[in-house]
Amino acid sequence: MKILTAAQIAEGDRITIERQGITSEELMERAGTLIFKQIHNRLQGAQIPVKIFCGIGNNGGDGLVVARHLVQHGYTVEVYVVNYTDKRSDDFLNNYEKFKETTKDWPQLIKEEDGIPEIDQGDFVIDAIFGIGLNRKIKGWMCKLIERINKSGAFVLAIDMPSGLFPDKISQSDAIVHADYTLSFQNPKLSFFLPDTMDYVGEFQVLDIAIDRQYLAEVKSETFLVGKEQAKILYKPRKPNSHKGDYGNILVAGGSYGKMGSVLLTATAAMHTGTGLCTLYIPESGYTIIQTGLPEAMVITDKNAKILSDFPKNFKADTVCFGPGAGTAEETVHSLENFLKKQKTPMLIDADGLNILSQHKGLQDLLPENSILTPHPGELKRLLGKWKDDIEKLKLAKEFSKKYKVIIVIKGTHTMIINRDEIYINTSGNPGMATAGSGDVLSGVITSLLGQKYDPPVAAVLGVYLHGLCGDIIAADEGFEGLTAGMIAQNMGSAFKALFENQEIA
Ligand SMILES: NC(=O)C1=CN([C@@H]2O[C@H](COP(=O)(O)OP(=O)(O)OC[C@H]3O[C@@H](n4cnc5c(N)ncnc54)[C@H](O)[C@@H]3O)[C@@H](O)[C@H]2O)[C@H](O)CC1
Ligand SMILES: [K+]
pLDDT (tens digit, 9 = 90+) per residue, 474-486?
999 999 999 999 9
C-alpha of 288 from chain center: 39
pLDDT of 235 reads 97
Superfamily of domain 230-499: Ribokinase (3.40.1190.20)
Percentage of the chain beyond pLDDT 70 is 99
Q: Pick the range with the lowest mean pLDDT from 6-10, 16-20, 139-143, 240-244.
A: 240-244
Question: Which runs of consecutive H residues, i.e. helices, occur in 104-186?
Answer: 141-152
Quote the ligand 1 centre to 134 CA distance (angstroms): 6
Q: Is 57 in the pocket of ligand 1 (CB under 6 A)?
A: yes
Q: With 70 as the cut, is the pLDDT of residue 187 above it?
A: yes
What is the spatial distance between Cα 269 and Cα 291, in angstroms, rounded to a whole number? 15
* Cα(23) to centroid(ligand 1), Å: 17
- Ligand 1 in contact with 13 (CB < 6 A)? yes
Amino acid identity of residue 422, one-letter, is: E
Mutate to test the pocket of ligand 1, among 134, 168, 187, 206 (most ligand atoms within 8 A of CB): 134
CA–centroid distance, residue 133 to ligand 1 (Å):
3
* % of the chain with per-residue pLDDT over 90: 94
**Backbone region of residue 241 per phi and psi (left: phi > 0; alpha: psi in -120 to 50; beta: other values):** beta
pLDDT of residue 480: 98
Phi-psi region of 30 (alpha: psi -120 to 50; beta: other; left: phi over 0): alpha
**69 known ligand binder:** no
- d(CA 84, CA 96) in angstroms, rounded, equals 16
> How far is the C-alpha of 272 from the C-alpha of 214, rounded, in Å?
40
Of 14, 160, 183, 201, the residue with max ligand 1 atoms within 8 A of its CB, to mutate for a pocket test, comes to: 160
Q: Is 61 in the pocket of ligand 1 (CB under 6 A)?
A: yes
Measured by CA distance, the residue closest to atom 15 of ligand 1 is 133
CB-based contacts of 136, cutoff 8 Å, min separation 6? none
Ligand 1 proximity of 9 Cβ (cutoff 6 Å): yes
Our answer on whether the CB atom of 146 is closer than 6 Å to any ligand 1 atom is no
**Which of the 8 DSSP states describes residue 180?**
S
- 161 CA: nearest ligand 1 atom: 39
Statement: residue 171 has pLDDT above 90: no
Surface-to-core class of residue 267, CB atoms within 10 Å of its CB (0-12 exposed, 13-18 middle, 19+ buried): buried
If one residue of 3, 65, 82, 130 were mutated to test the ligand 1 pocket, choosing by the most ligand atoms within 8 A of its CB, it would be 130
Same fold, 6-219 and 230-499: no
The whole-number average pLDDT for the span 146-171 is 96
Q: How far is the CA of 308 from the centre of ligand 1 (A)?
A: 57
The predicted-structure confidence for 367-398, as pLDDT tens digits, reads as follows: 999 999 999 999 999 999 999 999 999 999 99
Crossing angle of helices 377-384 and 351-359, rounded to 10°: 20
Pocket test for ligand 1, best of 22, 59, 143, 146 (most atoms within 8 A of CB): 59
Q: Say what the pLDDT of residue 504 is.
A: 61
Give CA–CA dist 288/269, Å, rounded: 19
Using DSSP, how many helices (H) and how many strands (E) does the chain show? Answer: 18, 17
Task: Output the CA 58–ligand 1 centroid distance in Å.
Answer: 5
Residue closest via CA to ligand 1's atom 37 equals 133
Q: Which atom of ligand 1 is nearest to the CA of 89?
A: 13
Which of the four pLDDT bands, split at 50, 70 and 90, describes residue 505?
low
> 131 C-alpha vs ligand 2 centroid, how far in Å?
5
Query: pLDDT per residue over 245-296, tens digit each?
Result: 889 999 999 999 999 999 999 999 999 999 999 999 999 999 999 999 999 9
Q: Which of 128, 227, 138, 237 is nearest to 184 (CA)?
A: 128
60 annotated binding-site participant = yes
pLDDT for 466 beyond 70: yes
Calpha distance 226→428 (Å, rounded): 8
Q: Where in the chain are the domains?
A: 6-219, 230-499
- Would you give the DSSP letter of residue 361? G
Q: Can you give the length of the chain in residues? A: 506
Ligand 1 atom index nearest CA of 62: 43
The helix/strand/coil state of 183 is strand
**Residue 136 CB less than 6 A away from ligand 1:** yes
Instruction: Give phi and psi for 342, each to the nearest 5.
Output: -90, -35
Residue 314: pLDDT band with limits 50, 70, 90: confident
Which helix H or strand E contains 283, and what residues bound it?
Answer: strand 277-283
Model confidence at 506: pLDDT above 70: no
Q: Give domain 6-219's CATH number out of 3.40.50.10260, 3.10.129.10, 1.10.3720.10, 3.90.1720.10.
A: 3.40.50.10260
Helices (H), 233-361: 260-272, 287-293, 330-342, 351-359
How far is it, in rounded angstroms, from Cα 379 to Cα 149? Answer: 37
Task: Looking at the CA of residue 164, tell me the nearest atom of ligand 1.
Answer: 29
Q: How far is CA 339 from CA 251, 302, 330, in A?
A: 11, 13, 15
- In the chain, the largest separation of any two C-alpha atoms, in whole Å, equals 86
Give yes or no for residue 95 CB within 6 A of ligand 1.
no
Relative to the CA of 84, which ligand 1 atom is closest? Answer: 31
Cα(223) to ligand 1 centroid in Å equals: 22
User: In three state form, how does the secondary structure of 191-260 look?
Assistant: HHCCCCCHHHHCEEEEECCCCCHHHHHHCCCCEEEECHHHHHCCCCCCCCCCCHHHHCEEEEECCCCCCH
Q: To the nearest whole number, what is the mean pLDDT of the chain?
A: 96
| Residue 348 pLDDT exceeds 60 | yes
5 known member of a binding site: no
Which neighbouring-strand residues pair with 127?
Answer: 53, 158
Kind plus residue range of the DSSP H or E element containing 16 = helix 6-20
With CA atoms as reference, report the closest residue to 449 among 386, 410, 492, 388.
492
Ligand at minimal distance from the CA of 163 is 2
Residues in a beta bridge with 319: 250
pLDDT at 503 over 70: no
CB 79 within 8 A of CB 108: yes
416-441: string of b/e by CB count within 10 Å (b at 16+)?
Answer: bbbbeebbbbbbbbbebbebebbbbb
Residues 362-368: contacts with CB within 8 Å, 24+ apart?
A: 363/333, 363/336, 363/337, 364/404, 365/404, 366/337, 366/340, 366/341, 367/340, 367/404, 367/405, 367/406, 368/340, 368/343, 368/344
Mean pLDDT, residues 461-481: 98
- Gap between the Cα atoms of 278 and 330, Å rounded: 27
pLDDT for residue 246? 84
How much is the ipTM here?
0.97
CA 3–ligand 1 middle distance (angstroms): 18
| Annotated binding residue 197 | no
Average pLDDT over residues 230-249: 92
131 CB under 6 A from ligand 1? yes
- Per the CB < 8 A criterion, the answer to whether 439 and 468 are in contact is no
Q: What angle do CA 205, 207, 210 make, to 5 degrees?
A: 160
According to DSSP, the β-strands at 298-302 and 372-373 are unpaired
Cα gap 470→222, rounded to integer Å? 27
* Ligand 1 in reach of 168 Cβ (< 6 A): no
104-150 pLDDT, tens digit per residue, is 989 999 999 999 999 999 999 999 999 999 999 999 999 999 999 99
Q: Is 350 annotated as a binding residue?
A: no
Distance CA 288, CA 294 (A): 10
* Strand partners for 281: 253, 300
